[in-house]
C-alpha cells in the first residue's frame, strides 16, 4: 500500500477535531501535519506505526507525532476516540520559554501510554474523556475548554512524558524525506491560508517554495493526490461551508470571503462540488 498525505478537514479558525471510530474502520498508511491521539475506549485497536503494528488495549493511549506514518488495521469488537489538532493552536513564541519545541516534544517522547508513569496515564485519560464529552454536548465556551484540556495535556507531557529509546530517534532517509516534504507542503498550506481570498496562480506558489511550475505540479499531485487547483478549490469551498454554517450574510459576501471571483462562479463551483446550492446548504445546516 502506498503512503499518502492526509489533509484532515479541520475548522481553519480552530484546527481541532474529535470523533469516535469502530474497530472495523480501516485507514490506509498516511501521514499529516496534525498531532493525533488515539484512545482505545473498548477492546484492542491495532495501529501500524512505520513498520511496526502495536495493539492499543482498552484504556491505553497512543500519540502520533506530526509527519509520522501510521495506519489502522481491522480490530473487531473495539472502539477508539481520535483527536487531531494543529500545533499552531499554541503560540510558542511566548508559551514555550526555554523548553524544547512542541514538534520535538512529541517526536522524541514515548508515544505509547503503556510506558508512561501512572499519573500521566490517568490524567490523560481524564482529559481525553472530557474532550469527547465536549464534542457530544457542544456547550457554550466549548473551544476554551478544549484549548485548556489540550494545554494541560501538553504541560503534563513536558513534565512527565518519558523519552523514546535512543535507537528509535535516529531518522531514516525516508523520515528525512517526509520531514522535508511536510515542511514544503506546510509552506504551501500557509501561503494558501493567508492569501486564499486573492487570485493565486500555480506559478506564484511554485516560485514561493522554490520549485519550477512543472516540478511543483508533480510534487503536489504526488503528495496530496490532488492538483493544486483542485486543492485550492476544495479549500475555498470548505471556507464557504464554514461561513454558511455560522453566519447569515449575502451570498456575494460569502463568495468574496471564501476567495471566489464572482457569486456566479461560487454558486456553480459549490453546487458541482457539494451537490446542492450554497443556499440549500445553509438551510440544511440551520
pLDDT reported for residue 177:
54
- In whole angstroms, give the CA distance from residue 201 to residue 212: 13
pLDDT reported for residue 128:
98
pLDDT reported for residue 170:
47
206 and 179, same domain (yes or no): yes
pLDDT (tens digit per residue) in 261-272: 999 999 999 999
pLDDT (tens digit per residue) in 113-166: 999 999 999 999 999 999 999 999 999 999 999 999 999 999 999 999 999 876
**pLDDT at residue 224 tops 90:** no
- In whole angstroms, give the CA distance from residue 170 to residue 107: 11
150 and 182, same domain (yes or no): no
Q: What total of structural domains would you count in the chain?
A: 3
pLDDT reported for residue 25:
85
**pLDDT at residue 176 tops 60:** no
102 and 221, same domain (yes or no): no
204 and 273, same domain (yes or no): no
**pLDDT at residue 242 tops 60:** yes
148 and 197, same domain (yes or no): no
Q: Which of 128, 143, 168 corresponds to the end of one domain?
A: 168
82 and 131, same domain (yes or no): yes
pLDDT reported for residue 179:
62
pLDDT reported for residue 19:
95
**Integer CA distances (angstroms), 51 to 3, 28, 47, 107, 286, in order:** 12, 13, 10, 16, 45
- In whole angstroms, give the CA distance from residue 4 to residue 9: 16
State the CB neighbour count (10 A cutoff) for residue 11.
Answer: 12
90 and 190, same domain (yes or no): no
20 and 159, same domain (yes or no): yes
Maximum average pLDDT range among 71-85, 179-193, 240-254: 71-85
Nearest to 153 by CA among 110, 121, 197, 188: 121
190 and 102, same domain (yes or no): no
CATH number assigned to the domain comprising residue 139:
2.60.120.280
Task: Please name the residues in contact with 185: beta carbons below 8 A apart, sequence gap of 6 or more.
Answer: 5, 33, 220, 223, 224
**Residue the block writes with cell 524544547:** 100
**pLDDT at residue 7 tops 90:** no
219 and 248, same domain (yes or no): no
**pLDDT at residue 51 tops 70:** no
pLDDT reported for residue 121:
97
**pLDDT at residue 40 tops 90:** yes
Query: What range does the domain containing 250 cover?
Result: 231-285
pLDDT reported for residue 173:
46
CATH number assigned to the domain comprising residue 255:
1.10.10.60
111 and 221, same domain (yes or no): no
pLDDT reported for residue 139:
96
Bigger pLDDT: 33 or 55? 55
- Averaged pLDDT score across all residues of the chain: 87
184 and 159, same domain (yes or no): no
Q: What's the pTM? A: 0.68
Q: Which sign does the torsion angle of CA 132, 137, 138, 139 carry?
A: negative
Q: Which of 144, 168, 192 corresponds to the end of one domain?
A: 168
pLDDT reported for residue 172:
45
**pLDDT at residue 9 tops 90:** no
Residues of the chain with pLDDT > 70, as a percent, come to 92
**pLDDT at residue 110 tops 50:** yes
Q: Which of 139, 168, 197 corresponds to the end of one domain?
A: 168
Task: Please name the residues in contact with 60: beta carbons below 8 A apart, sequence gap of 6 or more.
Answer: 39, 40, 112, 113, 114
* Burial profile 113-147: b = 16 or more Cβ within 10 angstroms, e = fewer: beebeeebbebbbebbeebbebbeeeeeeeeeebe
Amino acid at each position: 500500500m502506498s503512503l499518502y498525505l492526509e489533509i484532515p478537514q479541520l475548522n481553519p479558525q480552530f484546527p481541532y477535531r474529535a470523533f469516535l471510530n469502530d474497530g472495523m474502520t480501516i485507514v490506509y498508511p498516511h501521514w499529516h501535519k496534525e498531532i493525533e491521539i488515539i484512545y482505545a475506549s473498548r477492546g484492542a485497536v491495532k495501529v501500524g506505526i512505520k513498520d511496526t503494528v502495536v495493539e492499543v488495549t482498552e484504556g491505553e493511549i497512543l500519540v502520533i507525532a506530526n509527519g509520522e506514518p501510521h495506519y489502522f488495521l481491522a480490530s473487531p469488537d473495539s472502539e477508539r476516540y481520535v483527536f487531531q489538532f494543529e500545533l499552531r493552536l499554541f503560540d510558542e513564541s511566548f508559551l514555550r520559554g526555554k523548553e524544547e519545541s512542541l514538534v520535538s516534544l512529541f517526536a522524541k517522547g514515548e508515544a505509547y501510554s503503556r510506558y508512561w508513569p501512572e499519573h500521566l496515564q490517568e490524567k490523560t485519560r481524564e482529559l481525553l474523556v472530557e474532550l469527547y464529552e465536549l464534542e457530544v454536548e457542544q456547550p457554550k465556551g466549548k473551544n476554551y475548554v478544549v484549548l485548556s484540556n489540550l494545554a494541560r495535556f501538553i504541560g503534563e507531557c513536558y513534565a512527565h512524558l518519558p523519552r523514546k529509546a535512543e535507537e528509535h530517534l535516529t531518522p531514516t532517509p525516508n523520515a528525512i524525506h517526509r520531514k522535508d516534504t511536510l515542511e514544503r507542503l506546510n509552506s504551501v498550506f500557509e501561503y494558501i491560508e493567508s492569501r486564499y481570498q486573492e487570485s493565486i496562480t500555480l506559478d506564484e506558489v511554485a516560485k514561493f517554495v522554490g520549485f519550477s511550475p512543472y516540478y511543483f505540479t508533480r510534487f503536489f499531485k504526488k503528495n496530496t493526490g490532488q492538483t493544486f487547483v483542485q486543492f485550492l478549490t476544495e479549500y475555498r469551498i470548505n471556507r464557504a461551508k464554514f461561513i454558511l454554517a455560522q453566519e447569515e450574510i449575502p451570498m456575494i459576501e460569502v463568495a468574496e470571503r471564501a476567495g471566489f471571483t464572482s457569486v456566479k462562479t461560487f454558486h456553480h463551483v459549490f453546487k458541482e462540488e457539494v451537490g446542492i446550492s450554497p443556499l440549500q446548504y445553509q438551510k440544511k445546516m440551520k
